[in-house]
């Protein structure tokens, strides 16, 4: 009671709802006697203050803004991260134009990147653009390609991982491949192997589940280098995870023109690669 349908749908999309211990699919019908569990987050009092934070703007017009987010920046305010976020910077840059678009805590944000993931992220500058862009994500017409360094080469040069993802029942802060989870599909291609045992991959997301690449790479025993949650604890190559959103393509919400953008690796990630010996 007191929860809107859209809010409950967001909880389902985030893996915060289980039916008999499993994450339901979008059109799942409940039958009498089933146990439904909702992990409803505590209400957050978040004041969205504009901040003068430099932004790496890749593209901008009256409808959209494409940014190259640095690793270490949180996308939107949350407990423990009330300032210094990408949203604070966007409000400082765009003013009231973003207000209310995408919800009170995520104005303008169409999709997310993890705090320690760098690269391209898309924001909407008006409600019409937001609705059309979100529809593209739901229809899976947005192209997202990531560059990642993994602990060991996959068994095949190219591959497709189809493994459902849900909240880890043993640790609700983690995601895990689970039967009954939400469908998740990733495609990968090995770009370079190194004598030290690492491999550089291009990974394309066909779905957008929380921590999808990190969970899928760990699932095939090739965890992302530097991943403190799903990776190897003995890794000492770098601090922070090597995961970068390198390419983003979508249809302009007003004109329909296909737009594609690329962001190079940061000097920090490039230095990691230069420290390795290609095979």
Q: Which residues are catalytic?
A: 114
Q: 23 pairs with which residues across the strands?
A: none
Token pair in block for residue 75: 């996308």
Tell me which H or E stretch contains 165: strand 165-168
* Main-chain dihedrals φ then ψ at residue 91, nearest 5 degrees: -65, -40
Q: What DSSP string runs through the chain?
A: ----HHHHHHHHHTT-EEETTBPPPTT----TT--EEE-PPPP-------------EEEE-SSEEEEEEPTT--SS-BTTB-SSSHHHHHHHHHGGGGTTTT-SSSTTB-S---TT-EEEEEEESSHHHHHHHHHHHHHT-SEEEEEEEESS--SSSEEEEE--EEEETTEEEEEEE-TTSB--EEEEEEEEEBTTS-EEEEEEESS--TTHHHHHHHHTT-PBTT-TTTS-TT--S-SS--EEEEEEEEE-TTT--EEEEE-PPPHHHHHHHHTS-B-
For residue 70, the tally of other CB atoms under 10 A from its CB is: 14
């Amino acid at each position: 009671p007191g929860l809107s349908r859209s809010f409950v749908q967001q909880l389902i999309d985030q893996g915060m709802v289980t039916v008999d211990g499993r994450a339901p699919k979008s059109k799942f019908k409940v039958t009498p006697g089933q146990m439904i569990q909702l992990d409803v987050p505590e209400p957050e009092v978040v004041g969205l203050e504009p901040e003068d934070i430099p932004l790496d703007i890749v593209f901008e017009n009256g409808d959209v803004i494409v940014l190259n987010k640095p690793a270490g920046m949180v996308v939107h305010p949350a407990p423990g991260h009330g300032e210094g976020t990408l949203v604070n910077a966007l409000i400082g840059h765009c003013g009231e134009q973003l207000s209310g678009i995408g919800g009170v805590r995520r104005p303008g944000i169409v999709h997310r990147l993890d705090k320690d993931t760098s690269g391209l992220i898309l924001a909407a500058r008006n409600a019409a653009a937001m609705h059309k862009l979100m529809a593209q994500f739901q229809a899976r017409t947005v192209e997202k390609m990531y560059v990642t360094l993994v602990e060991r080469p996959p068994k095949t040069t190219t591959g497709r991982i189809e493994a459902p993802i849900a909240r880890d029942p043993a640790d609700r802060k983690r995601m895990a491949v689970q039967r009954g989870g939400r469908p998740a599909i990733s495609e990968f291609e090995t770009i370079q192997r190194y004598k030290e045992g690492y491999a550089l991959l291009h990974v394309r997301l066909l779905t957008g589940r929380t921590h999808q690449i990190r969970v899928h790479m760990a699932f095939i025993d090739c965890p992302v280098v530097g991943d403190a949650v799903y990776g190897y604890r003995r890794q000492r190559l770098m601090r922070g995870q090597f995961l970068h959103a390198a390419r983003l393509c979508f249809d302009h919400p007003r004109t329909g023109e296909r737009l594609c953008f690329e962001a190079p690796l940061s000097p920090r990630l490039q230095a990691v690669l230069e420290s390795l010996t290609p095979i």
